[in-house]
Structure 1
Amino acid sequence: MLSKGEHQTVPLSVLLKRELANEKVERPELSHGQASQSKKGEDFTLLKTECQRVLGDGITTYSVFGLFDGHNGSAAAIYSKENLLNNVLGAIPADLNRDEWVSALPRALVAGFVKTDKDFQERAQTSGTTVTFVIIEGWVVTVASVGDSRCVLESAEGDIYYLSADHRLECNEEERERITSSGGEVGRLNTGGGTEIGPLRCWPGGLCLSRSIGDMDVGEFIVPVPYVKQVKLSSAGGRLIISSDGVWDALSAEVAFDCCRVMPADAAASQIVKEAVQVKGLRDDTTCIVVDIQPPEKPNPPLAPLKKQGKGVFKSMFRKKPSESSSHTGKEFSEPDVVEELFEEGSASLSERLDTKYPVCNMFKLFVCAVCQVEIKPGEGISIHVGSKNSRKLRPWDGPFLCSSCQEKKEAMEGKRPSGDGRYSSGSD
């Protein structure tokens, strides 16, 4: 796949205008299945189809698929399963149309993940969980992830795309540097006499992940800020595999897709789990969700052609923006039939992740906390830009804003001590 910076995103408005120009907005048909073999009983899933964005209309529907791989107990996984979706939806302003709602998802997912983590940690329980959270609205797939579960897409054209990121310290140098600069330590387990074994872990706590929900005993530099990727599938659709590390430690993405070729989604999920357990045995909870996204009137699972590229090569077919001005964009993107990237961001900085503006549909709700959504009185909101390295001049009215509790959470994740110095409020002079 192309690395960040080697491809450009496609404006969502362009894609929606193209659909309207064709005078048809066909919604895909979804089928799904899940399978699991339990070792510790800490894997949980959330499967919700035909959710209504606008209650009662039966048209503005979306589907949600979540995988929660708990550790050190199941409490964080269960809590996230029960609360994360509502926290995400609560961070989306009301009265948005479809394209605004889809555009708002990446920012809302960040707020929802952080709120879920913050609320769970207030319960003073020490378990944690990875989260891979998928929202499908029409042909648009939005994935948010922390930890080492993965969501992988195989398009109907036969190309494979990673829609999540691995937050294992062993393989992510940037995350290791972030943790050490925030006050944590990264190293292997020391058995005495200078002997070190196992994967890189964060100390105290010994967690081998850099991002999760929960894990309050490890320190808040293990952050809940998710990597988010949003893509639009081609009109031919594709297949998603959402699995815990019990699958990915045993199978590559190519092998996972190949082992369940032409199977319906429920049988495919079972086959993937079976293959993974055969390779390494049941060493961990092994869970898989398969989602087929297909054009209407095509009930069979996607039949991807045999790949011409070598094994283990993942081809990126994201449509690039034209170099000309945006006035030519509609013409440039008139007839693509490939997977197109709409959004990608993995920064752990809330200042960066929450700076994207929502469409302003209700000015009366301007002063709300960008994370927990509580109303903030004028003068009490703290600009999220406070303390950031942003070179632009801060102004007292620059939002978004955080309540004092969420500001303390932000500072803790950045390795800072909460302080009243230098704060800009939403109503200061």
Structure 2
Amino acid sequence: MSTKSESQTVPLSVLLKRELANEKIERPEILHGQASQSKKGEDLTLLKTECQRMVGDGVFTYSVFALFDGHNGSAAAIYTKENLLNNVLSAIPSDLSRDEWIAALPRALVSGFVKTDKDFQQKAQTSGTTVTFVIIEGWVITVASVGDSRCILEPAEGGVYYLSADHRLETNEEERLRITSSGGEVGRLNAGGGAEIGPLRCWPGGLCLSRSIGDMDIGEFIVPVPFVKQVKLSTAGGRLVICSDGVWDNLTAEEALDCCRGMAAEAAASQIVKESVQAKGLRDDTTCIVIDVLPHEKPPSSLPQPKKPGKGMFKSMFRKKSSESSSFIDKEYMEPGVVEEMYEEGSAMLSERLDTKYPVCNMFKLFMCAVCQLEMKPGEGISIHEGAPNPGKLRPWDGPFLCSSCQEKKDAMEGKRTSDRLSSGSD
């Protein structure tokens, strides 16, 4: 006669089958494609799948996709492609659990962007680059962006999500105010006789963007601090489209998604570039990356599904929003439960972006610069809270800390001193 415990024994084959099924649910299949047409040769991409991170006896995998749209030469785009990922990873403490690693990404991305900019500017080259940087871990997508390249998401359930911010001075009033309050000037190109032409630009330098990596000739109020958004897809998956402004100047998000619906990622990227160039001609480097995040049992051609017409089709569907958001994201909501927003922040203030208000704050080394990871002796570091207007809440002896060089960078970006480059007489 069988005992109760024996009757409840589960065969090993069943356990293995369950474990495999859970793994497929937990880890989506990532398929990607890219396409481009070049006019200046200043667009670069980074595509890294199956990156591995060892934690104890376990191995976690993640993927990285990035688009760098250079201007005034390709040096900044090349340098950023070669160094940004390592700078981001070096800002994450070792031996974090999977959830802790994901929670640490937003701050690490800020540190990595600022360090990359700081290191590149020491090379005294005047080129700059926009960056749209995407990390996919499981069903969690984290996007950091400076400039006007853009990343959009269409989940399998339908709708359009904007995962990046547009840092064009022409359309972003908040960034215009930040530039002028930091000592810069914003205006159009003077064609003589009082006539002004073209988009709004930052002077000196004439850059039409408020955030980038590089651009040392314009002043440090053009900051490398990225807008960061982190979302979690449902296990139905979705499609990401990352494009340089050569696409977005010619196509809307809906047009880009519609023109390649039902195509595999590689063909979809080519079709988006083709549609963009046909619309207005090849006026700029035009680059597209398409990434399909798929459940293992679902074929690529079935994602994303055709959009369902109806009320609220073009509305944003996030469950929640922070007060800091890009100017072109609709403030209205649809029903929750499609895509979960985990994090969103776009402030240009390092004292806000490197603050310790997230779960893994106590795991960061106390005597290490939060930006460049330089090890410091006790008493050498400068708290990011130093000079805070509300000392009751932000105490200057609280970390995280910056080295003196990164503190100077922080002060310059926040308009607390005139840039050394500007004071030296550059125009």
1:386, CA displacement in angstroms? 1.3
The 1:58–1:240 alpha-carbon spacing in structure 2 relative to 1, beyond 3 Å, is farther
Aligned residues: 383
1:297, CA displacement in angstroms? 1.7
| Structure 1 counterpart of 2:210, one-letter code | S
The aligned counterpart of 1:380 is: 380
| Structure 2 counterpart of 1:131, one-letter code | V
> What is the CA–CA distance in structure 2 between the aligned matches of 1:233 and 1:174, rounded to whole Å?
30
Superposed counterparts of 1:88-127, under 5 Å? 88-127=88-127
| Structure 1 counterpart of 2:308, one-letter code | K
The aligned counterpart of 1:296 is: 296
RMSD: 2.2
The aligned counterpart of 1:340 is: 340
The aligned counterpart of 1:17 is: none
TM-score, length-normalised on structure 2? 0.86
> What is the CA–CA distance in structure 2 between the aligned matches of 1:33 and 1:58, rounded to whole Å?
29
Superposed counterparts of 1:48-197, under 5 Å? 48-54=48-54, 59-197=59-197
User: Aligned residues: percent identity?
Assistant: 79
1:57, CA displacement in angstroms? 6.6
Contact 2:103-2:360 within 8 A present in 1 as well: no
Determine helix, strand or coil for the equivalent of 2:316.
coil
1:168, CA displacement in angstroms? 0.1
The 1:178–1:129 alpha-carbon spacing in structure 2 relative to 1, beyond 3 Å, is same
The aligned counterpart of 1:306 is: 307
The 1:176–1:320 alpha-carbon spacing in structure 2 relative to 1, beyond 3 Å, is closer
Determine helix, strand or coil for the equivalent of 1:262.
coil
| Structure 2 counterpart of 1:42, one-letter code | E
> What is the CA–CA distance in structure 2 between the aligned matches of 1:56 and 1:41, rounded to whole Å?
43
> What is the CA–CA distance in structure 2 between the aligned matches of 1:167 and 1:205, rounded to whole Å?
16
Contact 2:244-2:286 within 8 A present in 1 as well: yes
Deviations 1:74-107 (A, max 9, x none): 0000000000000000000111000000000000
1:254, CA displacement in angstroms? 0.3
Determine helix, strand or coil for the equivalent of 2:170.
helix
The aligned counterpart of 1:32 is: 32
> What is the CA–CA distance in structure 1 between the aligned matches of 2:378 and 2:140, rounded to whole Å?
37
Contact 1:96-1:361 within 8 A present in 2 as well: no
1:308, CA displacement in angstroms? 1.2
TM-score, length-normalised on structure 1? 0.85
1:154, CA displacement in angstroms? 0.3
> What is the CA–CA distance in structure 2 between the aligned matches of 1:40 and 1:58, rounded to whole Å?
44
> What is the CA–CA distance in structure 2 between the aligned matches of 1:347 and 1:303, rounded to whole Å?
32
1:277, CA displacement in angstroms? 0.2
Structure 1 residue runs without a partner (length 5+): 1-19, 322-335, 420-429
1:55, CA displacement in angstroms? 7.3
Determine helix, strand or coil for the equivalent of 1:308.
coil
1:367, CA displacement in angstroms? 1.1
> What is the CA–CA distance in structure 2 between the aligned matches of 1:310 and 1:195, rounded to whole Å?
44
1:376, CA displacement in angstroms? 1.2
The aligned counterpart of 2:319 is: 319
Determine helix, strand or coil for the equivalent of 1:266.
helix
| Structure 1 counterpart of 2:360, one-letter code | P
Determine helix, strand or coil for the equivalent of 2:205.
coil
Deviations 1:133-192 (A, max 9, x none): 000000000000000000000010111100000000000000000000000000000011
For the pair shown, the structure with the greater C-alpha radius of gyration is: 2
The aligned counterpart of 1:424 is: none
> What is the CA–CA distance in structure 2 between the aligned matches of 1:196 and 1:225, rounded to whole Å?
30
The 1:292–1:151 alpha-carbon spacing in structure 2 relative to 1, beyond 3 Å, is same
The 1:215–1:391 alpha-carbon spacing in structure 2 relative to 1, beyond 3 Å, is same
> What is the CA–CA distance in structure 1 between the aligned matches of 2:413 and 2:198, rounded to whole Å?
26
